[in-house]
Structure 1
């Protein structure tokens, strides 16, 4: 399987779309009085726990992938778990970006009305949610990096390039000695 890294502009698009959606829901809430703004506290807590779980899984995959096969502990990282961790890290990064935009849009448009208790609570909830979502986005990006495999022992591996240069030097020395 060949997985590509998520491009940086995907995160920018996710943040922008989330920002537009969050601002749109804030405008709708202001005109209709539907009180749909804010983020419940358990959502921020759940997102934080999810980020920690993804980070722990990505660190386990990275440790297993970068350890010398002869020195690996008896623990076995299931390849399916490694792929699921990669997919989860990608999804967490993009969802964190979109949700940061969503809650950021709500907070930005609610700041003008902070004198009301409802809007001051919304701004506080959304600010905390934005921080947690940005942390999740960073954890997703780092987790995606941690899940990449080191180069194989093929011709492009640094050890093989060094060995090939040594053989070329030895061959050149032996030809000049003849």
Structure 2
């Protein structure tokens, strides 16, 4: 199974879409006298916890994947867990970008009313949660990088092909074609 890295433009697009959506919702809440802005503090705490868990999982996968197979401890990492960690990292990167835009976008229309207690509290909540979401986005991108497998030492590895050429040995594909 082969997974591709998340392109740079996907988190950027998610951040932009989240910013527009957050600003629109905050503006609609202001027009219709609804309290749609802000974020409870437990949301920021929960997002920090999710980011830490994903980072720990990704570090464990990276440690296992980069350790010499002869020196690996007897503990075995389930391939399903490694794949799920990769998927979690990708999801955290995109969700973190979208939510950072969402909470950052809510600040834009409300910054003009920051002198009011409600708006000042909402801006602080949104700013803190947006920073936490940006950290989660970075953790997701780093976690995705940590889940990469090093190239195998099989016949397709460039080092092995170069060594075969230096020794004058025909590649494995040419041997089987005869």
Deviations 1:70-104 (A, max 9, x none): 10011110001001100000000000000000000
In structure 2, the gaps of 5 or more residues are: 169-178
Report how far residue 154 of structure 1 moved: 2.6
Q: Distance in 2 between matches of 1:109 and 1:157?
A: 54
Report how far residue 33 of structure 1 moved: 1.2
Report how far residue 119 of structure 1 moved: 0.5
Q: TM-score with structure 1 length normalisation? A: 0.90
Q: Distance in 1 between matches of 2:85 and 2:112?
A: 41
Runs ≥4 residues deviating over 2 A: 154-159, 161-166
The aligned counterpart of 1:22 is 22
Q: Distance in 2 between matches of 1:119 and 1:71?
A: 57
CA root-mean-square deviation: 1.4
Report how far residue 49 of structure 1 moved: 0.5
Report how far residue 42 of structure 1 moved: 0.3
Q: Distance in 1 between matches of 2:95 and 2:114?
A: 27
Report how far residue 164 of structure 1 moved: 2.9
The aligned counterpart of 1:117 is 117
The aligned counterpart of 1:56 is 56
Q: Which moved more, 1:113-122 or 1:147-156?
A: 147-156
In structure 1, the gaps of 5 or more residues are: 169-178
The aligned counterpart of 1:67 is 67
Q: TM-score with structure 2 length normalisation? A: 0.90
Q: Distance in 1 between matches of 2:141 and 2:158?
A: 25
Q: Which moved more, 1:3-12 or 1:94-103?
A: 3-12
